[in-house]
């Protein structure tokens, strides 16, 4: 808590997200009760508002959606390059036309354009 004994919204949100990590469908009260907290974390959890819960819920929904998109891209990319040989880059570059475009879009969606190739041989 700060000097006035009030928790900040960012602290309340951090506690909520930590409590919901891995259990986004858990009832908020159950999550709060089942997560061990230090005194400040407990104070944050007790000060959570309906707006805090709504924001945390929206963030968790977005996180789940992004995770689903990522896995879909991995699955599609895997299907496109499964028959190839060599590194992932070599497999993608060996594809023709629409398959190359699809694989390239998956690589972009996954953020794998930093020059570091994942080890997938």
> Does residue 60 sit within a domain?
no
Quick one: how far is CA 67 from the chain centroid? 5
Q: Are 117 and 90 in contact (CB under 8 A)?
A: no
> Does residue 87 sit within a domain?
yes
Tell me the residue range of the domain where 101 lies: 68-121
- Angle CA 39–45–47, to nearest 5: 105
Q: Please state, in angstroms and as integers, the Cα–Cα distance from residue 67 to each residue in 29, 30, 60, 64, following that order.
A: 25, 24, 10, 5
- Report pLDDT for 2: 47
- Report pLDDT for 16: 82
Task: Retrieve residue 48's tokens.
Answer: 């959570």
- Report pLDDT for 59: 87
- Report pLDDT for 44: 83
Q: Are 92 and 104 in contact (CB under 8 A)?
A: yes
- Report pLDDT for 25: 61
Which residue in 43, 32, 106 sits closest to 73, CA to CA? Answer: 106
- Report pLDDT for 37: 77
- Report pLDDT for 63: 85
- Give the count of domains, the chain: 2
Residues 121 and 72 in one domain: yes
**47-73 residues labelled b (16+ CB within 10 A) or e (exposed):** bbeeebeebbeeebeeeeeeeeeeeeb
Residues 42 and 73 in one domain: no
pLDDT mean values, one per 10 residues, the chain (121 residues): 64 83 64 74 82 86 88 95 91 94 93 67 55
In terms of pTM, does the model score above 0.75?
no
């Amino acid at each position: 808590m700060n000097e006035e004994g009030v928790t900040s919204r960012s602290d309340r949100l951090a506690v909520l997200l930590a409590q919901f990590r891995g259990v986004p469908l858990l009832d908020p009260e159950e999550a709060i009760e089942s997560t061990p907290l230090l005194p400040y974390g407990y104070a944050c959890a007790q000060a959570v508002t309906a707006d805090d819960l709504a924001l945390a819920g929206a963030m968790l929904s977005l996180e789940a959606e992004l995770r689903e998109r990522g896995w879909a891209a991995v699955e599609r990319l895997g299907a496109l390059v499964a028959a190839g040989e060599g590194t992932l880059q070599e497999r993608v570059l060996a594809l023709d036309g629409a398959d190359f475009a699809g694989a390239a879009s998956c690589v972009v969606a996954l953020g794998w354009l930093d020059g570091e190739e994942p080890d997938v041989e």
